[in-house]
Amino acid sequence: MTTAAQQQPRASFDTWGPWALLAAGVVAGTISARMVGVDRSELVVTGVLVAASVVLQAVWGTVKRRRPGPSRTGAALYLLRWTIGFVLTWINPFFAFYAVTGYYTAVRELPRRLVLPGLFLTAVTMSGSEIGGMPPHGLVLWLGFFLVLGVNVGMVSVFTRYAVQEQARSVVQTDTIAELERTNTALQQALDENAALHAQLLVQAREAGVADERRRLAAEIHDTLAQGLTGIIAQLQVVANAPDLDIARTHIERASALARHSLGEARRSVHNLAPVALERDGLPEALQKTVGEWGERVGIRAEFTVTGTTEQLHEEVAATLLRIAQEALSNTSRHAHATRVGVTLSFLGDEVILDIRDDGRGFDPLDVPARTRSGGFGLDGMRARAERIAGSLTVESEPGHGTALSARVPLVRHDR
């Protein structure tokens, strides 16, 4: 692709180059007039032609400013300048300084079909200058002239072909660069659209999370608090109708145990209502505390590991992974009967992976309890959390061989 900096030197040479070469030809021709045997009449003709060249260059400059590029007018002016250059070089070969301008202006001033004829005419002029002027007579001089002309034409053909190849290569490079720029623009637009979609996805995930939390709390209240309160009421009704004190004391103890259990479940639900641990810490720190506190509370050996370069995650991504970890640990304490649990958080370039493994009794993933299928917050709920932020959840388990849960989500960085 031609830049403005590359075009500026060419424009300057097109404007001042012919004037400089004409001046060089006049100086060289004047100094060498006596040496090459120019008589008085030829000096007059030379002066007239030099004046005509000055007028011609002035007219040409005006034409090119109005209509740059190849044109019929440019072809006519080129032919006129070649004629003047030819006659001047016939009179004095040192005017070849001016005639040589035909070589570098033919491609830019002539239509494509006239470029080679224009270069050939210039080669004729330059061949005459190289043997000391146009040969007036003598077989040897004519043979020398055609020999030099052949060499010039051959050189013109070679360099013209090279120039055409370079021009074609330049066009291909320009098209390639333009295509790359279009591709980069399209890629940038795609990246911008992807970022906007990520932001929209996170907003939708946050809104869906609110509704999901309501469903989860409703399910937990029904499964724990409501059932516990129902059990307490039943025990107290038995106490009211108990025939003796021992039976009443037994049912009161059962009612107290149900009340303590229901209170613990209520506290756990409130604790899980919002990821308070993320208010002060990042996800790795919050997970480490959650895993450590869970292990101490349930008496199971729990280990937490971070791999990869830690990133500051978007709050919705961090909250989703923390809630998945909390629910997975809760399921482990309720159902797995495990003795050891390992939690790993991995940062892998453009995604984050949360792995939770235990050595419990395992289960058949195809035989998920009906409660989780009908609205509870078990595996289906954790999978729904991951999918809301374009992630996924996979579970590998087998009865008697423990369980491995893996949540993979996009790595969306924290808004700064």
pLDDT: is 208 or 57 the higher one?
57
Q: Convert the pLDDT of each residue in 208-220 to its tens digit.
A: 666 666 666 666 5
245-273 and 227-240 are packed helices; what angle lies between their axes, rounded to 10 degrees? 160
| Cα–Cα dist 289/39, whole Å | 108
Overall residue count recorded for the chain in this entry: 416
What does the pLDDT read at residue 343? 97
Average pLDDT of span 117-135: 65
Encode pLDDT of 224-244 as tens digits. Answer: 566 667 767 777 777 777 777
**Confidence band for 373, pLDDT divided at 50, 70 and 90:** very low
- Higher pLDDT: 58 or 393? It is 393
> From CA 233, how far away is CA 262, in angstroms rounded?
13
Reply yes or no on whether the pLDDT at 5 is more than 70: no
Compute the half-sphere exposure of residue 94: CA atoms within 13 Å on the CB side of its CA: 17
Task: Using alpha carbons, list the distances in angstroms from residue 113 to 48, 163, 232, 391.
Answer: 32, 15, 105, 64
Q: Which residue has the higher pLDDT, 354 or 372?
A: 354
Which pairing describes strands 301-307 and 403-410: parallel, antiparallel, or unpaired? unpaired
pLDDT at 45 over 50: yes
The percentage of the chain sitting over the pLDDT mark of 70, rounded to a whole number, equals: 72
Evaluate whether 91 touches 50 at the Cβ level (below 8 Å): no
Q: Which residue has the higher pLDDT, 363 or 256?
A: 363
Q: Which pLDDT score, from 0 to 100, does residue 301 have?
A: 93
Q: Confidence class of residue 152 from pLDDT cuts 50, 70 and 90?
A: low
pLDDT class of 372 with cuts at 50, 70, 90:
very low
Domains, the chain, with CATH or none: 4-134 (no CATH), 277-416 (3.30.565.10)
CB 411 within 8 A of CB 349: yes
Put simply, whether the predicted model's pTM sits higher than 0.75 gets the answer: no
The span from the CA of 251 to the CA of 229, in Å, is 14
- Estimate the crossing angle of helix 315-331 against helix 283-298, to 10 degrees: 20
Write out the two tokens for 45: 């003709």
Lowest mean per-residue pLDDT among 53-62, 248-257, 310-319: 248-257
The mean pLDDT of 4-28, rounded to a whole number, is 66
**pLDDT tens digit string along 62-75?**
887 777 777 788 78
Number of neighbouring beta carbons within 10 Å of residue 308: 13
d(CA 359, CA 403): 7
CA separation for the pair 52, 46 (Å, rounded): 10
Give tens-digit pLDDT for 166-205: 566 767 777 788 888 888 888 888 888 877 777 777 677 6
Q: What is the pLDDT of residues 262-306, one digit of tens each?
A: 776 666 666 555 555 676 788 999 999 989 988 988 889 999 999
Rounded to the nearest integer, the mean pLDDT of the chain is 76
